[in-house]
């Protein structure tokens, strides 16, 4: 009989590292796939006790190498995702071709389940390549393997994220913060530990053939999020709505940087609310109430960006 062995792609990201900690504490053994053990090994190895985590380096998605990995696992989880393309058609390769291949293998090797992380709010955004590629990926997975579970979160935040931490850095340095679409786009942020609890439940229980929207407890507009971050780091900044033509021009320039803060594709996606669609079940339907409040959680780590650091008094702005 196969033991509780999990094959994890995208393990070194924010969600992957938190998930490794949760699963290995419950005696799951993880094989974590990374493109570069030398760069990501130190991040990964500290997440689990010896014996519970094996690292495998794959520099490309060579089908026969992946077959070998599938032979030894009962569950595969795919957390690989990108926010911008470094080369042409990369969204399609990462969000569509790769999950297509993994879900076909899950079927071939008769896995107990295949769990894939997609995104919330992509159904209407047919002018965004990110959204289209994620949605195509979902469709292929459902077609390929009946025992698939697709999770769809909005912004996932924690001290390890690339969202609140990057924005707090920007807000602490820039005197003016541009607002796209007047800052009115709505989000349903979920704390990484709440999302990992849902993932853990999916691993433990019989929930096959399921698409689940993973919602945090609050619906916040982009402007509300920025104001919370500003309060949390004790800064006042001018929030300036940008006309779309200027926003497009700034995105065209920013996307030329190696780690762009904004791309044209992200600007297109920002037009659409990132909240419950009504098309799928949500964690609330399964009895999972997420309770972590955005402002309260961000306050736990925002001192890194506050003048005076951890022991400075928080200003009442
Ligand atoms: N974070 C959020 O707010 C959020 C919101 C909605 C949906 N999601 C989805 O949730 C999943 C996990 O999110 P995350 O924030 O934990 O991800 P992440 O940190 O951005 O990336 C996850 C991992 O994907 C691998 N990866 C990145 N680019 C790759 C490429 N070109 N080829 C192969 N592997 C690559 C990397 O692993 P190695 O470098 O170790 O190879 C990375 O650690 C993604 O699918 C993401 O789209 C995230």
CATH number, domain at 121? 3.40.50.720
Select from 168, 160, 163, 169 the least CA-distant residue to 192.
160
Confidence band for 206, pLDDT divided at 50, 70 and 90: confident
Q: Is the CB of residue 84 less than 8 Å from the CB of residue 15?
A: no
CA distances from 231 to 18, 172, 201, 297 (A): 27, 11, 34, 13
| Mean pLDDT over the full length of the chain | 95
Q: What's the confidence (pLDDT) of residue 4?
A: 79
Q: In this structure, is residue 287 part of a structural domain?
A: no
Q: In this structure, is residue 113 part of a structural domain?
A: yes
Please write down the HEC assignment for all residues of 185-242.
CEECCEEHHHHHHHHHHHHHCCCCCEEEEECCCCCEEHHHHHHHHHHHHCCCCEEEEC
Pocket residue to mutate for ligand 1, from 10, 138, 157, most atoms within 8 A of Cβ: 10
How many distinct structural domains can be found in the chain?
A: 1
- Give me ligand 1 centre to Cα 153, in Å: 13
Q: Is 185 in the pocket of ligand 1 (CB under 6 A)?
A: no
Q: What's the confidence (pLDDT) of residue 245?
A: 95
pLDDT in tens, 43-95: 999 999 999 999 999 999 888 999 999 999 999 999 999 999 999 999 999 99
Q: What are phi and psi of 274, to 5 degrees?
A: -110, 65
Q: In this structure, is residue 242 part of a structural domain?
A: no
pTM of this structure: 0.95
Q: In this structure, is residue 307 part of a structural domain?
A: no
Q: In this structure, is residue 178 part of a structural domain?
A: no
Q: In this structure, is residue 250 part of a structural domain?
A: no
Q: In this structure, is residue 209 part of a structural domain?
A: yes
* Percent of the chain clearing pLDDT 90 (strictly above): 91
**Residues near 248 by beta carbon (within 8 Å), at least 6 away in sequence:** 264, 267
Residue 54 belongs to domain spanning: 5-157+189-214
Q: In this structure, is residue 297 part of a structural domain?
A: no
Q: Is 111 in the pocket of ligand 1 (CB under 6 A)?
A: no
Q: Is it the case that residue 182 has pLDDT exceeding 90?
A: yes
Q: Is 137 in the pocket of ligand 1 (CB under 6 A)?
A: no
Q: Is it the case that residue 177 has pLDDT exceeding 90?
A: yes
């Amino acid at each position: 009989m196969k033991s509780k062995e999990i094959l994890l792609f995208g393990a070194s990201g924010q969600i992957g590292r938190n998930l490794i900690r949760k699963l290995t504490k419950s005696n799951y053994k993880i094989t974590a796939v990374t493109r570069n053990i030398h760069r990501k090994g130190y991040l990964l190895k500290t997440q689990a006790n010896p014996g519970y985590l094996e690292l495998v380096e794959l520099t490309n998605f060579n089908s026969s190498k992946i077959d070998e990995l599938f032979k030894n696992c009962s569950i595969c989880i795919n957390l690989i995702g990108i926010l911008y393309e470094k080369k042409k058609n990369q969204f399609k390769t990462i969000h569509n071709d790769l999950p297509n291949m993994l879900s076909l293998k899950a079927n071939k090797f008769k896995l107990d389940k295949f769990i894939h992380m997609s995104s919330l709010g992509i159904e209407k955004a047919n002018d965004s390549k990110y959204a289209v590629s994620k949605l195509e990926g979902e469709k292929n997975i459902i077609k390929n393997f009946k025992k698939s579970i697709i999770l769809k979160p909005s912004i996932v935040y924690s001290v390890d994220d690339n969202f609140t931490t990057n924005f707090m850095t920007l807000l602490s340095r820039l005197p003016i913060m541009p607002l796209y679409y007047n800052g009115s786009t709505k989000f349903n942020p979920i704390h990484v530990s709440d999302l990992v609890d849902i993932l853990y439940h999916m691993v433990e229980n019989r929930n096959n053939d399921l698409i689940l929207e993973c919602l945090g407890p609050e619906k916040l507009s982009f402007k509300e999020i920025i104001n919370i971050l500003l309060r949390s780091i004790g800064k006042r900044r001018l929030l300036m709505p940008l006309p779309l033509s200027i926003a497009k021009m700034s995105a065209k320039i920013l996307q030329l940087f190696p780690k762009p803060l904004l791309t044209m594709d992200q600007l297109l996606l920002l037009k659409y609310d990132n909240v419950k669609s009504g098309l799928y079940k949500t964690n609330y339907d399964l009895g999972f109430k997420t309770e972590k409040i955005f402002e309260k959680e961000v306050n736990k780590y925002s001192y890194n960006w506050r003048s005076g650091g951890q022991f400075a008094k928080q200003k009442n702005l």
